[in-house]
Amino acid sequence: MPVSQHGDPRTLGLNEDEVAARREAGQANVLPPRSGRSVGEIVRANVFTRINALLGILFVLVMATGSWINGAFGLLIVANSIIGIIQELRAKHTLDSLAVVGEARPHVRREGREYELAQEEIVLDDILIAKPGDQIIVDGEMVEAFNLELDESLLTGESDPVAKNAGDSILSGSFVASGTGAYRATSVGKNSYAAQLTAEASKFSLVHSDLQAGINRILKTITWILIPVGILTIVGQIRVGESDWRAIILSVTGALVPMIPEGLVLITSTAFALGVIRLGRRKCLVNELPAIEGLAHVDVVCADKTGTLTENQLAFSQLQLLKADGALADSAIRTDASGDRSEREALATEALRQLAAADPTPNASMAAIIEAFGTAKDPWAVQSAQPFTSALKWSGTSFTNGQNWVLGAPDVLAAHNAPAAEEASRLAAHGLRVLLLGEASVAVTDDAAPGDVSPVSLIVLDQQLRPDAGPTLEYFASQDVQVKVISGDNAASVGAVAESLGMDAGDPVDARSIKDEDWDRTVNNSRVFGRVTPQQKRSMVAALQKAGHTVAMTGDGVNDVLALKDADLGVAMGSGTSATRSVAKIVLLDDKFATLPYVVAEGRRVLSNIERVAKLFLTKTVYSSILAILVLLFSVPFPFQPIHVTITGWFTIGIPAFLLSLPRNNDKARPHFVGRVMTFGLPSGLAVAVASFTTYMLVRNPDFVGAHGAQAPTAALLALIIGSSWVLAVVARPYEWWKIALILLPLAGYGLIFNLDVTQRIFMLDSSNLDAMLVGTLIGLVAAVFIEALWWFLGIRGGKRPAIWVPREEREAARKQRQLEHEEFMLQRREKKEHRREEPVPATD
């Protein structure tokens, strides 16, 4: 839709025919897929995996033996692939739809009129408008520049803005720090840097994650173990006199299949994908998937005040007039009431209107002033202008009539002990934003600007608190996450806002007063900071990271970009500038600060649940490896058929692990994921393996219980099931009703399998020797006691008393949260239905 008109014949832009011709010539700004992989790539990536290849080879070999029942593990290949494909496609759909909402829509000038278009609609030679906070989305050449400065830190690493003039070349990926301008697109689509930037943004990715790195280390180790174990198993079976190649293949398969953690990668990918989908329902765009994991580790949140704790919009409150000598006048103007005005009042009002008329891109403060006073009906001619920047803390305009007007922070423009500065501090202490209007002694673009400033009035603006800010701060406090409020506003004003939200602000710090030698200590010990420059925000993030903190930074303005980029986790508001959205790992599309606790909870769910799942799979791998080694050392046939380890892997590990990866989990994220998994998985797997093999060796001895045929393997399988089921029992804690069912239902299924004649024939079992089954039960229980003791020992050593049952207050909180989410879901459904009803019915011919 058209936004405005422009009359400069040199920069009118393309006409419709020229745009159409460029599209036909393939010169449109075609962007890469928003969510990275295409559907075909997703299918290939989930089908042709290392684990599927290993299972596939073993499946073909088993099928060659003619033992179809032992090939049941082949279903894992199909199940893993289908579930992985479905979940990633769901995540792709969520990311694609959110990316469309969250992406920047540039203003393009065509035939003298400005249009807001999607990025894909831009063509070569289009004229694009550049305003503060806009990201340069295609390479181009400046055709207009008004005090324009670009921040090219995303390209060069240099944080100082670079002045740009007409004729200068610019690269996509930079963003407008101040001023305005227009540029002609010289490279679009895959030929511009923007194509690479877009390819990295909004991508479904499972890389660069501590969790993934840990799992990959485990998988790499297992892969190297598989080959020698397979060879040794073949050698062992030949040594015990086995000459039937079919029996050897089944023994090798029975040894190797349980060693492969076939569900670990799938469940991890599924957990991440579900995280994307869940957060997507809350209008949270995850530009980088490991960000879900990252926020779970965050222990410091640096929150920008404006746009995070307070609304972006400001409301005019009052105009406090100042006398010619700078002293306070007797009264304040609270509205722009009409009627007779004093000379001082008329001067201030006219100056504000002229500044408003001269500002092509008014910020929130100027927008509030325009709403209260309007703009000049007879604008003065502008000689030069200085846009507002976070570094300067003021803006101004020099007019050809010789007047130089400035508007900005009172503690910057006025003398320290001046009445105006003292009154501004008093008002700011109540949480108000205060600006000073004054007349400067030099031109606003002069090197000495603003020079001596003659104060004329104070402009007082109201800041509206976000209704969700208080509860969110309270949540972070309850989770031992520090919140530091960092703002470019007056420190007292920022502190008052924080206090009004229930936060202990301590002594608010003016960032200009911090000495270099005290910087790190002050940043780490204080909570609220004011008058912070963009470079100081970046330095604050570095100081916190240096102290060992994992830092999240929220922001919405161009002055937040550098800090967002350097933070461990950058969180941008959807209504913020396109530059902040592009560098952030998470974008809150509906600007709700209250969404962050859900992101924290989602990260904790993924990390804690995957740690549980990894313990289950590693235990299975360990006991399978040790069994294979023990069989070789004692020169005995391998006790299990592939079908035995398949049913155990499915019902004791696979299906329970999948379900355990889904529920809420508020356990705080901790480092050393691999260490904790190995500390539990290795001894647990050893206990299960020793119990099973001991049972096998005892009951196959003719002098002990006289077991024969399948009786010894059945007793050994029983000991293995009891031990591995107890691993599931302790990993699933703390218990809820459904977790108890998760443990008991497979045991009930095993009871049927071990006792029914038909199932025993199908699964090659023989439980008729009661003495052998008793031995297996007792030895399995010994392993269970060891695993129970290990769980208590590791929990107490970790400094936390293990919990067997979910505490009552947590159950109640979870119930209320489920109820709230259900109500939100039903509300969204009703809104969608109402929206569909309101949509106009398309006309038919």
pLDDT (0 to 100) of residue 542: 93
Domain CATH code at residue 453: 3.40.1110.10
* Any domain includes 55: no
Backbone phi and psi for residue 129, each to the nearest 5 degrees, phi listed first: -90, 140
3-class state of residue 2 by DSSP: strand
Q: Is the pTM of the predicted complex or chain greater than 0.75?
A: no
* Any domain includes 40: no
Q: Are residues 18 and 118 located together in one domain of the fold? A: yes
pLDDT (0 to 100) of residue 294: 74
Residues 272 and 607: their CA atoms lie apart, in Å, by 10
Integer CA distances (angstroms), 594 to 283, 466, 601, in order: 12, 10, 12
pLDDT (0 to 100) of residue 544: 94
pLDDT (0 to 100) of residue 157: 56
pLDDT (0 to 100) of residue 645: 76
* Any domain includes 59: no
Integer CA distances (angstroms), 98 to 39, 162, 502, 580, 829, in order: 18, 33, 33, 16, 18
Q: Are residues 389 and 457 located together in one domain of the fold? A: yes
Q: With both helix axes pointing from N to C terminus, report the angle between 264-281 and 75-102 in degrees, rounded to the nearest 10.
A: 30
Residues 698 and 693: their CA atoms lie apart, in Å, by 9
Picking from 200, 225, 247, the residue at the C-terminal end of a domain is: 200
Q: Which of 579, 571, 576 is nearest to 596 (CA)?
A: 571
**Which candidate in 304, 566, 568, 591 is catalytic?**
304
Q: Are residues 703 and 605 located together in one domain of the fold? A: yes
Q: Are residues 473 and 613 located together in one domain of the fold? A: no
Q: Are residues 755 and 824 located together in one domain of the fold? A: no
Q: Are residues 548 and 604 located together in one domain of the fold? A: no
Q: Is 304 in the active site?
A: yes
- C-alpha atoms less than 13 angstroms from C-alpha of 379 in its C-beta half-sphere: 13
Count of structural domains within the chain = 5
* Any domain includes 143: yes
Q: Are residues 546 and 662 located together in one domain of the fold? A: no
* Any domain includes 457: yes
pLDDT (0 to 100) of residue 206: 39
* Any domain includes 624: yes
Residues 476 and 65: their CA atoms lie apart, in Å, by 60
Place of tokens 């009359």: 7
Backbone phi and psi for residue 210, each to the nearest 5 degrees, phi listed first: -60, -40
| Contact call for residues 349 and 374 (beta carbons, < 8 A) | no
The answer for residues whose C-beta is within 8 angstroms of residue 741's C-beta and 6 or more apart is none
* Any domain includes 507: yes
Q: Are residues 761 and 667 located together in one domain of the fold? A: yes
Backbone phi and psi for residue 385, each to the nearest 5 degrees, phi listed first: -140, 150
Q: Are residues 668 and 698 located together in one domain of the fold? A: yes
Ranges in the chain, pLDDT < 70? 1-10, 31-37, 71-74, 76-77, 80, 87, 91, 93-104, 153-160, 193-212, 230, 233-243, 251, 254-255, 257-258, 262-263, 288-291, 325-326, 330-341, 666, 669, 799, 809-845
Backbone phi and psi for residue 70, each to the nearest 5 degrees, phi listed first: -75, -10
Full residue range of the structural domain in which residue 711 is found? 210-278+600-797
* Any domain includes 43: no
Burial label, 408 (beta-carbon count in 10 A; 0-12, 13-18, 19+):
buried
Domain CATH code at residue 189: 2.70.150.10
Q: Which of 72, 563, 37 is nearest to 300 (CA)?
A: 563
pLDDT (0 to 100) of residue 700: 87
Chain centre distance of CA 234: 48
Picking from 437, 464, 491, the residue at the C-terminal end of a domain is: 464
The token pair that represents 43 in the structure block:
């299918």
Q: Are residues 188 and 229 located together in one domain of the fold? A: no
Please name the helix (run of DSSP H) or strand (run of DSSP E) that holds residue 305, with its range, or none: none
Amino acid at 276: V
Burial label, 457 (beta-carbon count in 10 A; 0-12, 13-18, 19+):
buried
Please name the helix (run of DSSP H) or strand (run of DSSP E) that holds residue 774, with its range, or none: helix 770-797
Domain CATH code at residue 537: 3.40.50.1000
Residues 59 and 71: their CA atoms lie apart, in Å, by 6
The token pair that represents 121 in the structure block:
């609609």
Question: Beta strand 113-116 with 107-110: parallel, antiparallel or unpaired?
Answer: antiparallel
The answer for residues whose C-beta is within 8 angstroms of residue 772's C-beta and 6 or more apart is 699, 705, 707, 711, 712, 714, 715
Chain centre distance of CA 117: 27
3-class state of residue 334 by DSSP: coil
Q: Are residues 344 and 443 located together in one domain of the fold? A: yes
The token pair that represents 815 in the structure block:
């119930």
CA gyration radius, the chain: 34
Burial label, 804 (beta-carbon count in 10 A; 0-12, 13-18, 19+):
exposed
Q: Are residues 656 and 762 located together in one domain of the fold? A: yes
